[in-house]
A and B are shown apart, each in its own frame.
Chain A
Amino acid sequence: MPTPPRSVLEVFLGFLSIGARSFGGVLPWAHRVIVEERQWLARADFLDVLALCQFLPGPNIANMAVVLGRRWFGLPGALAGFLGLMALPFVWVLALAALYADWATQADVRAVIMGIGVAGGGLFLGTALKLGQPLARKPMALAIIAGCFAAVGLLRVSLLVVLPVAVVLALASARQRWL
């Protein structure tokens, strides 16, 4: 049974541990820490907050830190989540820029970073599989997942177009109890 964090400090440390390790993308780590390691939220609840944050503009997981921090501890919680998420990566990226800016475009370094990025993409796919598991027996849900994936991932249609269409279709299906 998931239990929310007991203190603002715990929120800060949780998001700090997300930021610290989130090479190749933040979402897989957010899911790992919030649902699997610390068990603050059930998977369905995580997906609910994630969906909300995807529909809002701005960095998804920073939004998530704010929404969850607020739910648990109001403004202090939101600030703790946001600052925890950003603190280490901020220091990291400036240090990297100061030390290695000239290396970053070098072929060997670029290849390694690209490999990490591709593996990070794989972690997103794995996380999506976990999140999607409960929907696997609902044909309409699978069709919507496939449609959104194809439109945004394969065809690179702007979210500003895909989002309204997908939401209208999904709401209509949910009303028909297909979802």
Chain B
Amino acid sequence: MLELFLYFGLLSLLAVGGISSIMPEMQRIVVEQQQWVSAAEFTQLFAVSQAAPGPNVLICSLIGWKLAGLWGALVALAGICVPATALAWWVGGVWERFRDAPWRMLVQRALAPVSIGFVFAGGYVLATPEGLGWGNALVAVTSAALLYATRISPLWVLAGGGVAGWLLFR
């Protein structure tokens, strides 16, 4: 359990830009080095975590669950979240304290376009799990347009994506 916490804790602090950036490293540790789960199980757990709502860190709780049941799931989730959120707590405090400082406003203006570029990149990566094709380009552009230009609930957009997926990606 301690090992589980420590490994995920370490990964937590490396995960700049979110969990997707450490997936290869996580697979290396979990499958090859520690042999907590097999490669096939890892793929399966990843698929399950994709099917559930919520942050994709939940793959970690699934790995913990495989190893040690409910407590394993909680410990693994704590491991991947606590170090990073503790850092966020501290940095967030500093960020608030300098709310009206000129340098802080400069940084804010500078980071905005960088951040937006990363959101576009994240969307592109999610929309092209197996490379760019007509099918997924159509689904992704339609979803983006519906979110941007209409007030339709995104749940309908996702449901439509599911149907389109069944038609296009089988």
Residues of A within 8 A of B (CB): 19-29, 32, 44, 47-48, 50-63, 66-67, 70-71, 78, 82, 85-86, 88-90, 92-94, 96-97, 100-101, 104-105, 107-132, 135, 138, 140-142, 144-149, 151-154, 156, 158-160, 163, 166-167, 170-171, 173-175, 179
Contact = CB atoms under 8 A, between A and B. Distances in A.
Contact of A58 (B12, B62, B70, B160): B12
Contacts of B129: 114, 117-118
B115 A115 contact: no
Chain A interface mostly: helix
B13 interface: yes
A47 to B, nearest CB: 6
Interface in B50-84: 50-58, 61-62, 65, 70, 73, 77, 80-81, 83-84
B87 A167 contact: no
A179 B147 contact: no
B53 A66 contact: no
Interface of B: 12-19, 21, 43-45, 47-58, 61-62, 65, 70, 73, 77, 80-81, 83-85, 87-89, 91-93, 95-96, 106-130, 136, 139-148, 154-155, 157-158, 160-166, 168-170
B144 to A, nearest CB: 4
Contact of B111 (A19, A55, A85, A153): A55
Contacts of A88: 53-54
A124 B141 CA distance: 11
A52 B91 contact: yes
